[in-house]
């Protein structure tokens, strides 16, 4: 059985991490905290809006509801898939609250007011794509869906079922719309439509996948007709990925581990005995440093590609305009024409020339003028330099 989150854990780490996830082992959730808090605040606001009769909440009401959510996250922690998660740091919860409130404000408060929208629904299906309990041993795919919307299109006389995933990472867009995770969510929603919307499920003509980037408010989406054969391809892929997912060994009741670079991004490394990042050995500091550096380089490559056209605020990784000083093409003539007539002795002239030359410039001069030897103008100086290693 796989879920959206276990698939992404498997992609990022190793099969053993799935054991820890299924067993509810304590995880280093710090990397997820901000996203968790943003989702929790939005869910709380949506629930309150529905409780009050699907009306938009005022700014003051949203502040009160979100403050209660922050308090719950930081004092008690939340229940997630039957496991209790420890309280999160206040700073992460407040950042999540800020992201969620700022997104809802930009929606002019009209968030979560649809009477047929649903949030944070955990859905599962079995190998025949029949809905089943998220705890059923027969389930092959599960996910907690951030938001489900059903809207009537008057032009076509059909309904559009939208599966919406909220992301708090800066780079979130087209790649996520085309991910198997989101396609799996669309299939989950369709297979549950007759239960969730008994009145309108027969008239669903389109299923839409939507990624909402909460930080940039950018929405990226893709649509398919419900009779599109591509949906069957998704189902086949889901089934084969689920079947191919590594299972626990019958004797050890464990999946294999494959420690390495993946441990640097594994939320279970503090409880994993096979981790390549043991926390308690002095000598491991160097290993940890190298692994983190390699991970940072890997992420930098991805971020650079994804943030090419995104403006990020100060403090966040990304591209910013920089000003660099360059030598004008005619600078040499200008300096000589301006300064040489003014020099008063050989010392001044030597200072001017030293300021003008560079190692690479001199190396090129030596090649051009054989009477100038490298030893007469260059010297080797030994110094200590920090190297990051691999
Ligand atoms: S710490 Fe490393 S070996 Fe252990 S589960 Fe995570 S990725 Fe696998």
Give the per-residue pLDDT at 65: 92
Residue 27's nearest CA partner among 334, 270, 328, 210 is 270
Q: pLDDT per residue over 222-266, tens digit each?
A: 999 999 999 999 999 988 888 888 888 989 999 999 888 788 778
Which residue matches tokens 């050890």? 252
Task: Quote the Cα angle for 210-214-216, to 5°.
Answer: 100
Residue minimizing CA distance to atom 2 of ligand 1: 263
Which residue matches tokens 């190793």? 14
Q: Is the CB of 213 under 6 A from ligand 1?
A: no
Round to whole Å and give the CA distance between 132 and 52. 31
Residue 260's nearest CA partner among 250, 252, 249, 272 is 272
Q: 30-33 contacts: CB < 8 A, separation 24 or more?
A: 30/88, 30/89, 30/92, 31/267, 32/267, 33/88, 33/89, 33/92, 33/93, 33/96
| H helix runs in 137-179, sequence order | 174-177
Task: Quote the Cα angle for 240-246-250, to 5°.
Answer: 125
Residue 39's nearest CA partner among 84, 80, 90, 83 is 80
| Residue 178 pLDDT greater than 90, yes or no | no
| Residue 51 pLDDT greater than 90, yes or no | no
Average pLDDT over residues 43-57: 83
Q: pLDDT per residue over 110-167, tens digit each?
A: 666 666 667 778 899 998 999 998 888 888 888 888 888 888 888 888 999 999 888 8
Write down the domain spans for the chain.
32-113, 116-227, 261-306
Give the per-residue pLDDT at 201: 84
Contact 121, 145 (CB under 8 A): yes
Give the per-residue pLDDT at 317: 83
**% of the chain at pLDDT higher than 90:** 19
Q: 48-54 contacts: CB < 8 A, separation 24 or more?
A: 49/111, 49/112, 49/113, 50/112, 50/113, 50/115, 54/113, 54/114, 54/115
Q: Is the CB of 14 under 6 A from ligand 1?
A: yes
Phi and psi, residue 26, nearest 5°: -60, 135
Cα 267 to ligand 1 centre (Å):
8
Beta strands in 168-296 (DSSP E): 204-213, 219-225
| Residue 342 pLDDT greater than 80, yes or no | no
With the most atoms of ligand 1 within 8 angstroms of its CB, the residue from 13, 261, 265 to mutate is 13
Q: pLDDT per residue over 208-226, tens digit each?
A: 999 988 877 788 899 999 9
**What is the number of the ligand 1 atom nearest to the C-alpha of 272?**
4
Round to whole Å and give the CA distance between 177 and 164. 10
* Residue 287 parent element (H or E): helix 284-306
Give the per-residue pLDDT at 362: 84
90-106 and 33-51 helices, crossing angle to 10°: 50
Cα 287 to ligand 1 centre (Å):
15
346-356 and 331-339 helices, crossing angle to 10°: 170
Give the per-residue pLDDT at 254: 92
Average pLDDT over residues 83-89: 79
| Residue 88 pLDDT greater than 90, yes or no | no
Contact 284, 270 (CB under 8 A): no
Q: Is residue 359 helix, strand or coil?
A: helix
81 DSSP 8-state letter? T
Give the per-residue pLDDT at 355: 73
With the most atoms of ligand 1 within 8 angstroms of its CB, the residue from 9, 11, 17 to mutate is 17
Round to whole Å and give the CA distance between 158 and 230. 20
With the most atoms of ligand 1 within 8 angstroms of its CB, the residue from 263, 265, 277 to mutate is 263
Round to whole Å and give the CA distance between 69 and 96. 10
47 DSSP 8-state letter? H
Round to whole Å and give the CA distance between 176 and 68. 31
């Amino acid at each position: 059985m796989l879920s959206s989150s276990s698939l992404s854990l498997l992609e990022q780490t190793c099969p053993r991490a799935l054991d820890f996830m299924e067993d509810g082992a304590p995880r280093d959730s710090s990397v997820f905290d901000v996203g968790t808090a943003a989702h929790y605040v939005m869910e709380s606001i949506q629930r309150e809006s529905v409780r009050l009769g699907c009306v938009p909440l005022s700014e003051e009401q949203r502040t009160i509801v979100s403050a209660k959510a922050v308090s719950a996250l930081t004092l008690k922690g939340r229940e997630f898939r039957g496991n209790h998660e420890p309280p999160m740091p206040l700073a992460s919860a407040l950042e999540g609250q800020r992201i969620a409130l700022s997104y809802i404000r930009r929606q002019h408060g009209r968030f979560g007011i649809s009477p047929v929208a649903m949030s944070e629904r955990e859905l599962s299906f079995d190998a025949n794509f029949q809905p089943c309990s998220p705890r059923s041993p027969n389930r092959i795919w599960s996910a907690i869906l951030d938001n489900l919307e059903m809207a009537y299109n008057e032009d076509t006389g059909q309904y559009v079922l939208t599966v919406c995933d909220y992301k708090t990472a800066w780079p979130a867009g087209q790649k996520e719309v085309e991910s198997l995770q989101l396609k799996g969510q669309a299939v989950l929603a369709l297979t549950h439509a007759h239960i969730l919307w008994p009145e309108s499920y027969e008239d669903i003509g389109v299923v839409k996948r939507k990624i909402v980037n909460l930080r940039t408010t950018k929405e990226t989406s893709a649509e398919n007709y419900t009779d599109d054969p591509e949906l069957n391809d998704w189902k086949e892929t889901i089934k084969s990925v689920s079947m191919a997912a590594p299972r626990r060994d019958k004797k050890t009741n464990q999946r294999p581990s494959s420690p390495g670079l993946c441990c640097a991004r594994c939320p279970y490394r503090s409880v994993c005995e096979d981790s390549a990042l043991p926390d308690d050995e002095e000598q491991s500091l160097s290993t940890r440093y190298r692994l983190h550096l390699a991970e940072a380089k890997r992420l930098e490559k991805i971020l650079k590609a994804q943030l090419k056209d995104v403006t990020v605020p100060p403090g966040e990784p990304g591209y910013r305009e920089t000003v660099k000083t360059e030598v004008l093409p005619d600078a040499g003539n200008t300096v000589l024409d301006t300064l040489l007539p003014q020099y008063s002795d050989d010392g001044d002239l030597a200072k001017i020339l030293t300021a003008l030359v560079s190692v690479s410039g001199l190396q090129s001069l030596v090649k051009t003028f054989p009477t100038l030897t490298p030893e007469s103008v260059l010297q080797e100086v030994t110094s200590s330099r920090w190297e990051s290693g691999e």
